[in-house]
A and B are shown apart, each in its own frame.
Chain A
């Protein structure tokens, strides 16, 4: 297999409403930033791979065609990926796979969501035929799983508040983050209204406009550029309505993590991974994913969070950029995790850089917590 690396990551400023740009302008902002960082011109791009979440989020069907000019895809192969909230991650994996397979030398990949164009909670809460109309957005869907996690492991309620505070304090070090809440503390979080019990307002992600792009190229074209080498990558899914499924600790997540650790030669992720950008749209998913991804035993995740292990200067920093809790253009949110992991090992994460980060993990999940995409990136090829 051909070895591939990320040579450029480009992001937009994330905000509730980016009315200064069209959808095309939004994706192009991320692409321009990625190509500038990668120091490549359009003639170097062999194919463009675009990902985003449901088309109902903007009301534009097949936007990869509508956006062909803006994403530089005219006359080039173009592919669209859609795996719900995990799409930003799976788009990164699919883009990299097209380089590793030798199909293309250099691939431009971009993901976006312009949620202000519609209403994501509405789009996620349709009336299904022959069923009572009670579904209540992503928070309404995930809250029962979170409640079961809390019950199963007797976790104290301040854990959720703590993650909400930690991620937003990290976001203050990231000028691109949507939410900047100076002075946030656990009391502020616990004073906000309950949305989907046990989730409060500030324990939930925002709804954002934004895009993220990456340039991925084969080893022989990297040259003297800064690069994040892709050491392991995988996607997994499982049946949403499958008997025996454990929504709190999905098997597909366990399997996907094991696959990328095996590829990267990692036997102890807690010790060997320097930092991770993990898809945490609701505060409690931090301890849940700590366990699912094998950073600790079952029931120990909330204790790691409580001991500040996931702080930016902790043993296993999670979401140094502020994470999904601080910026959530859904289709891009997974790629932001992958791209931020790459920036860490390239030493280009500026004020939210983890000192001496050499191995980083990017993670995304989506749908009914049945889609997973992950990768491990490293500063060295060895």
Chain B
């Protein structure tokens, strides 16, 4: 074997398959998402509204057992423009990954922004969900294709910080 052909390592792809149990809080949330509705859950102690809900309030350690229907409008809390392909990820860069803060929610979640020149995107910009056709709805936030800017004045994100009343 020549020097060039020597190999001191081998590539061996591995696979892990997970069975994920949603749990009761996420199940309640996803059953609504399947119907095109976003329903957050609120803490009975501090009143913080979580979406997507994980079933408990990390601040108070109690179950978020109050359902809070929300709209699909909100603002961009912050964002990045991803320019590199991510291994295993089907989305073609560049794409905008934003922290979406829905109106009435006290945490944000990551989703895509489209329908605007990326140079125009700002922190605090008002946005609304663009849903897939109804017959494609499933138990996933992928029912929302992306969020797109709407013609409303920007939000001062400093005012978004949750303060216990």
Contacts and interface: CB of A to CB of B under 8 A. Distances in A.
A194 B86 contact: no
A147 B96 CA distance: 13
A205 to B, nearest CB: 14
A299 to B, nearest CB: 13
A131 B50 contact: no
Interface in B72-97: 77-84, 86-91, 95, 97
A130 B22 contact: yes
Given A130-B139, A197-B80, A144 B99 contact: yes
Contacts of B79: 144, 147
Given A143-B80, A195-B84, A130 B90 contact: no
Contacts, number: 132
Nearest to B138: A130
A1 interface: no
Contact of B46 (A129, A241, A243): A243
A244 B162 contact: yes
Interface string A223-267: 000000000000000111111111000000000000000000000
B50 A145 contact: no
Interface string A127-149: 10111111111001001110110
B78 A147 contact: yes
B141 to A, nearest CB: 5
Given A151-B78, A244-B163, A246-B161, 19 more contacts: A122-B87, A125-B88, A130-B22, A130-B30, A131-B109, A132-B111, A134-B91, A134-B111, A136-B84, A136-B86, A152-B158, A195-B83, A197-B82, A238-B58, A240-B58, A243-B48, A243-B58, A243-B106, A243-B162
Contacts of A148: 77-78, 123, 157
Contact of A125 (B14, B30, B87, B164): B87
Given A19-B9, A59-B14, A125-B89, A134 B112 contact: yes
Interface SS of B by simple majority: loop
B8 interface: yes
Contacts of A380: none
Contacts of B102: none
Interface string A175-210: 000000000000000000111111100000000000
A105 to B, nearest CB: 38
Given A144-B80, A241-B58, A134 B88 contact: no
A197 B83 contact: yes
Contacts of B86: 121-122, 125, 135-137, 140
A119 interface: yes
Interface string B37-55: 0000001001011100010
Interface string B15-33: 0100010100010001001
Contacts of A246: 161
Interface residues of A, number: 42
B26 A130 contact: yes
Interface of A: 19, 56, 59, 119, 121-122, 125-127, 129-137, 140, 143-145, 147-148, 151-152, 193-199, 238-246
A147 B89 contact: no
A134 B59 contact: no
B78 A136 contact: no
Interface residues of B, number: 54
Interface in B116-165: 123, 139-142, 144, 157-158, 161-164
B83 A134 contact: no
A134 B97 contact: yes
Contact of B59 (A19, A240, A244): A244
A122, A134, A137, A241, most chain B CB atoms within 10 A: A134
Nearest to A135: B110
B7 to A, nearest CB: 10
B97 A242 contact: no
Contacts of B110: 131-132, 134-135
A129 B22 contact: yes
B107 interface: yes
A239 B58 contact: yes
A145 B142 contact: no
Contacts of A137: 86
A300 B123 CA distance: 21
B98 A136 contact: no
Nearest to B141: A131
A121 B86 CA distance: 7
A135 B87 CA distance: 11
A100 to B, nearest CB: 29
Contacts of B140: 129-132
B58 A242 contact: yes
